[in-house]
Structure 1
Amino acid sequence: MLNEKLMSDFINVGCQTKKEAAIALQVYLELCEVKKYFDVEYCYSTELKCLYFTGRKTKSSAKSIFIPIAASDTISFLQMEKYFILDNSSQRSVILAMVDSDSTCVYYQITEGIKDPAPETPLLDIEEKRTKLDIELRKNWKLLEQSAMYNLPITLKKKTKYSN
């Protein structure tokens, strides 16, 4: 009975579908009953068009913000950055509560300052290495061909700065 009332409240507040409301309910129940958070409240952001929860891990701790999301939903870095407007503290942080269809709930805390991952090696370095490898293969083509034909292992000499 309480679950139905909460589902109805979530839909009235702004959840677009019953699926969204069910995911929110799962997170709400887990925060209250399993994790035993204090002062759990639900809020709706009209700007972000999402329901979220606030709660305290202990009575004296700062409030955390939980955003319920289906595990099957895709979320971009841009969307994650928008969630930070929900947190007014100096260290802006939110927790994504991802719910799977089997009701498994996984929590990911993200903090403002996320940057897109940069490639480990710049593309120019990769292209330069490919070119050098191609040159070495062309130089040693005959030797490589013979070793492959006779099934012989070979080791190519590594160029040093003193060799030609």
Structure 2
Amino acid sequence: MEFEHSAFQEMLSLGCTNKKNVIATFQAYLNLCEERKFWDVQFHNLKNENIVYLTAKEKKNDPYCNLYLIIPSKESINLGKLCSIQKQMCELHPHSEFKVILKDPDSTCTQYKLTKGLSILSLEVAKERKLSMEKHNYLQNEFNKMKQDLYTEVKHKLYENNSLQ
């Protein structure tokens, strides 16, 4: 599928060999320009990652552009690569917010804002959090099992106390 649109041809000329990324980015470009009416929508090539990304302002007078990484929804991306891309893009465009657009085959574009400092947990911290959550869930389940018995016992004691008076 080839587009004759001048912006698409310009994106292709940036040197990105990842056709899926270029097509998804072009469709997101149209979404930002025509549907969302964003200002100053531009595309850029992050050569060492072989991707094309967008910058745009939501309002005409916004001082900084937002950064948009477009990912086709059927593709997967690991957190390490996403962190690397975010860091590189934010170094090129300081003071900009980093957003990911998941692009569905039906042209739906869903945006997610990612904050700086996104990081991968160490294995030890992840295990510790998992154990803590498991312990919390276990205690919650035990409490729920005992709750009815405790309620019945308290009710019985109150009844006994009332009948003795």
TM range (shorter): 0.5 to 0.7
Query: What is the alpha-carbon root mean square deviation over aligned residues?
Result: 3.4
Residue 115 of structure 2 aligns to which amino acid in structure 1? Answer: T
Number of the residue aligned with 1:6:
7
- Secondary structure of 1:78's counterpart equals helix
Residue 51 of structure 1 aligns to which amino acid in structure 2? Answer: V
Residues 78 and 33 of structure 1: CA distance in aligned 2, closer, same or farther (over 3 Å): same
Residues 4 and 81 of structure 1: CA distance in aligned 2, closer, same or farther (over 3 Å): same
Determine whether 1:27 maps to 2:28: yes
Number of the residue aligned with 1:45:
46
- Verify the 8 A CA contact 1:65 1:94 in the aligned structure 2: yes
Number of the residue aligned with 1:113:
117
Q: CA deviation at 1:116?
A: 3.5
Higher fraction of helix: 2
Farther-moved stretch of structure 1 (103-112 vs 115-124): 115-124
- Verify the 8 A CA contact 2:22 2:51 in the aligned structure 1: no
Unaligned segments of structure 2, at least 5 residues:
139-148, 150-165
Q: Which of 1 and 2 has greater Rg?
A: 1
In the alignment, which of 83, 86, 89 is matched to residue 81 of structure 1?
A: 83
Q: CA deviation at 1:28?
A: 0.3
- Verify the 8 A CA contact 2:7 2:26 in the aligned structure 1: yes
Q: CA deviation at 1:13?
A: 0.8
TM-score w.r.t. length of structure 1 = 0.66
Unaligned segments of structure 1, at least 5 residues:
131-154, 156-164
Q: Work out which structure has the larger RCO, using CA pairs closer than 8 Å and 6 or more positions apart in sequence.
A: 2
- CA offset digits 1:49-99 (Å, max 9, x no partner): 210111111122121001111001111111111122212466664111111
Q: Which runs of 4+ in 1 moved over 4 A?
A: 89-92, 119-122, 124-127
Residues 93 and 120 of structure 1: CA distance in aligned 2, closer, same or farther (over 3 Å): farther
Q: CA deviation at 1:109?
A: 1.1
- Verify the 8 A CA contact 2:66 2:96 in the aligned structure 1: no
- Secondary structure of 1:87's counterpart equals helix
* Structure-to-structure mapping, 1:1-164, within 5 angstroms: 3-61=4-62, 62-82=64-84, 83-88=86-91, 93-116=97-120, 118=126, 121-123=129-131
